[in-house]
Homo-oligomer: A and B are copies of this chain.
Amino acid sequence: MRRLCIHTITTKPWTTEECISRYAAAGVGGITFWRYNLEGRNPAVVGKQAREAGLDIVSLCRGGFFPASSAEGRQKAIDDNRRCIEEAQALGAPLIVLVCGAVPGQSLEESRKQIADGIAAVLPDAEAAGVKLGIEPLHPMYADDRSAVNTMRQANDICDALGSPDMLGIAADVYHIWWDPELQHQIEFTAAQKRLFAFHICDWKTPTTDFLNDRGLMGEGCIPIRQISDWVDATGYKGPREVEIFSHRYWAMDQDEYLGKITESYRQLYV
């Protein structure tokens, strides 16, 4: 259970404080905050609350969204990522997850170039703050407007192109990459490059009825989560398994009951 981490957006109806207290009470080991959790709050205080409750702060979601059709838009994104790095440092989060971004109608090649440029621009800030950046490859169904980085191979290519800096790595989420025929190899390669920074879990339902908010709880869908998780662990990864579920259906239910379902499905998978 110590390796179970939950993303606050999973229980979106809860306040920041409710997430901290309920996760801790349920024996969850870690918490990944989303930036909306910090709105109107002092990140350092939120971080202290979480640590005092016994939770490891795993990461801050999310930076990225670097591509834009204008130089002004790209600069705005860089500025926002710098703020995100400051927030992560104050919070005590060792990692920021990057949803890299894409602009509909702009070529994916150009978006990837802008992503690499954006990351290069903020890397010195991340290094100075001691905050790592994890590129999260997103499922190809998000290539239009959310991310032009859709496979672990592409994420690795960006890390390589930027000289493989220590603070830059990959956040692997089974929802986005489970279908990839290269998956096992890419997990091994990523870990060998010491850049497997995070591992997210949830499930893919059949049918899925919403492009964003119909993810399933582990065990409800077709993703071979345990197999992928075993590949990850076989590389020596000992980090958290982060539950990140966007779901209108689950957000509508009693969140305490839902948290019980999360810990139960995690136990069935791993214990």
A residues in contact (CB < 8 Å) with B:
104-105, 107-108, 139-141, 143-145, 150-151, 153-154, 178-181, 204, 206-209, 211, 221-222, 224
Contacts and interface: CB of A to CB of B under 8 A. Distances in A.
B108 A144 contact: no
B222 A211 contact: no
Contacts of A154: 181
Copies of this chain, tallied across the complex: 2
A174 to B, nearest CB: 12
B108 A181 contact: yes
A107 B178 CA distance: 10
Report, nearest first, the 4 A-B pairs whose CB atoms are least far apart.
Answer: A143-B179, A104-B222, A141-B141, A140-B179
Contacts of A141: 139-141, 208
Contacts of A151: 181
Nearest to A150: B179
B181 A144 contact: no
Given A139-B140, A154-B181, A181-B151, A206 B107 contact: no
Contacts of A139: 140-141
Contacts of A181: 108, 150-151, 153-154
A139 B142 CA distance: 11
B145 A108 contact: no
A27 to B, nearest CB: 29
Nearest to A145: B206
Interface centre among A153, A178, A211 (most CB of B within 10 A): A211
A185 to B, nearest CB: 13
Nearest to A157: B181
Given A140-B141, A140-B180, 5 more contacts: A107-B224, A139-B140, A141-B141, A144-B206, A207-B211
A204 B144 contact: yes
